[in-house]
Amino acid sequence: DLVAEVTGRSRRIVRKGEGHASRLVVESRAGSANLAETASFMDDQKRILIFSDAGGTGRSYHADLGAKNQRLRVHYLLEPGWKADAAIQGLGRTNRTNQAQPPLFRPVATDVKAEKRFLSTIARRLDTLGAITRGQRQTGGQGLFRPEDNLESPYARDALRQLYRKLYRGDVPGCSLGAFEDATGLSLTDDNGLKDDLPPITTFLNRLLALTIDMQAVLFSAFEELLDQRIEGAIAAGVYDLGLETLRAESFHVTDARVIYTHPGSGAETQLLTIAEKRRNTPTSLADALDWLDDPKARLLVNSRSGRAAVQVPATSLMLDDGTIEPRLRLIRPTEASTVPAKMMEDTHWLEADRATFAAAWTA
């Protein structure tokens, strides 16, 4: 009585009666039942609505200003399916114009690692659909999925090759190369060592589905760690494609405009603009700098040559092309911050200082 159902079912099993007299019976549903169920939800007679593909097109379940039920919609995505366009249609049922407030989307998944294989497929297809429909692939997923949810991205492919190398070297705790090959049926080696033609990411993800839950956790955790490092490394290096961004600054100025293509038929030009931005400096106060000491790994530094002060805090490690991990540190100064390899600090003039010396250098 509290749940509205908008599906393609023509029959359903319901309980009739109460107590010892209750029984389960097969109830037929008329073709117009979905219209009545939708109306009961929008009229606030039923608080919960469940809909499938049959109710994912042509209907509205949003907090319409013209409806009695204007409560916040919490949209649980239980089965995204395999069709990106159908997924977007379903998501759009609760997020439309003329609404009291936008919905809260909650993709649902268990802690079974291989289940991410299904979320990955719809995340990739949503990205692809966004590129086709809007010319901007990141808009297809409506911000519902994170970059690391797409397990078929170039970063994921690089991470998988690195995982294969780690398995070959025996660097994956809890899973040897032999155990991996026996469990998955994948062959990573030949007479010359590690194969050049290694199994692709889709094959790896599909084979994960056949493994035990514990083995899934071991392999996928190692893979996720490598994937996160790839993405974080690209972000730190400034080469990660964030998609369409909104830039904010005090002012922008076009310093150069260059024609890079002219359409032969219409003569329309495509220009490449070089834009300089002007940002207002917001110096970090001494109090804010000292707040970093809440991190037990933070250090107060003073440069013996320049007399400048900085706070040293841990930064995200960077994975190099050979697979080794490069520890990095972040130096926070009054007006800027930079990330450097940890090993480079030994060759600099930065020395650890007490609070008094640091405070004098910071405010100088």
Q: Provide the pLDDT confidence category of residue 180 given band limits of 50, 70 and 90.
A: very high
**Cβ burial 80-109 (10 Å sphere, 16+ → b, else e):** bbeebeebbebbebbbeeebeeebebeeee
Residues 156 and 214 in one domain: yes
Query: Is pLDDT above 90 for 122?
Result: no
Residue 248 Rama label (left phi>0; alpha psi -120 to 50; beta): beta
Note whether residue 158 is domain-resident: yes
Q: Provide the pLDDT confidence category of residue 133 given band limits of 50, 70 and 90.
A: very low
Average pLDDT estimate for 300-314: 93
Listed in sequence order, the residues at least 6 apart from 5 whose beta carbon sits closer than 8 Å to its beta carbon are: 12, 33, 34, 37, 49, 50, 51
pLDDT of residue 318: 73
Could you tell me which of 286, 284, 283 has the C-alpha nearest to residue 355? 286
Two tokens at 61? 């379940």
Residues 182 and 166 in one domain: yes
Type of residue at 122 = I
Residue 265: domain span:
249-280
Q: What separation in angstroms does the CA of 286 have from each of 215, 332, 349? A: 49, 11, 21
Note whether residue 120 is domain-resident: no
Comparing 8-12, 272-276, 293-297, 301-305, which segment has the lowest mean pLDDT?
Answer: 8-12
Residues 9 and 75 in one domain: yes
Residues 12 and 103 in one domain: yes
In tens, the pLDDT along 160-173 reads: 999 999 999 998 99
Residues 253 and 233 in one domain: no
Residues 170 and 203 in one domain: yes
For the chain, how many structural domains are there in total? Answer: 4
Two tokens at 246? 């909104």
Average pLDDT estimate for 70-74: 94
For residue 287, how many C-alpha atoms fall within 13 Å in the half-sphere facing its CB?
0
Note whether residue 131 is domain-resident: no
The model's pTM is 0.60
Q: Provide the pLDDT confidence category of residue 29 given band limits of 50, 70 and 90.
A: confident
Note whether residue 184 is domain-resident: yes
Distance in Å from the first CA to the final CA of the chain: 71
Two tokens at 284? 């970090």
Query: Is pLDDT above 90 for 310?
Result: yes
Note whether residue 119 is domain-resident: no
Query: Is pLDDT above 80 for 57?
Result: no
Residues 317 and 267 in one domain: no
Query: Is pLDDT above 60 for 289?
Result: yes
Residues 51 and 102 in one domain: yes
Note whether residue 133 is domain-resident: no
Listed in sequence order, the residues at least 6 apart from 33 whose beta carbon sits closer than 8 Å to its beta carbon are: 5
Note whether residue 293 is domain-resident: yes
Note whether residue 311 is domain-resident: yes
DSSP state of 316: E
Question: Largest Cα–Cα distance of the chain, in whole Å?
Answer: 90
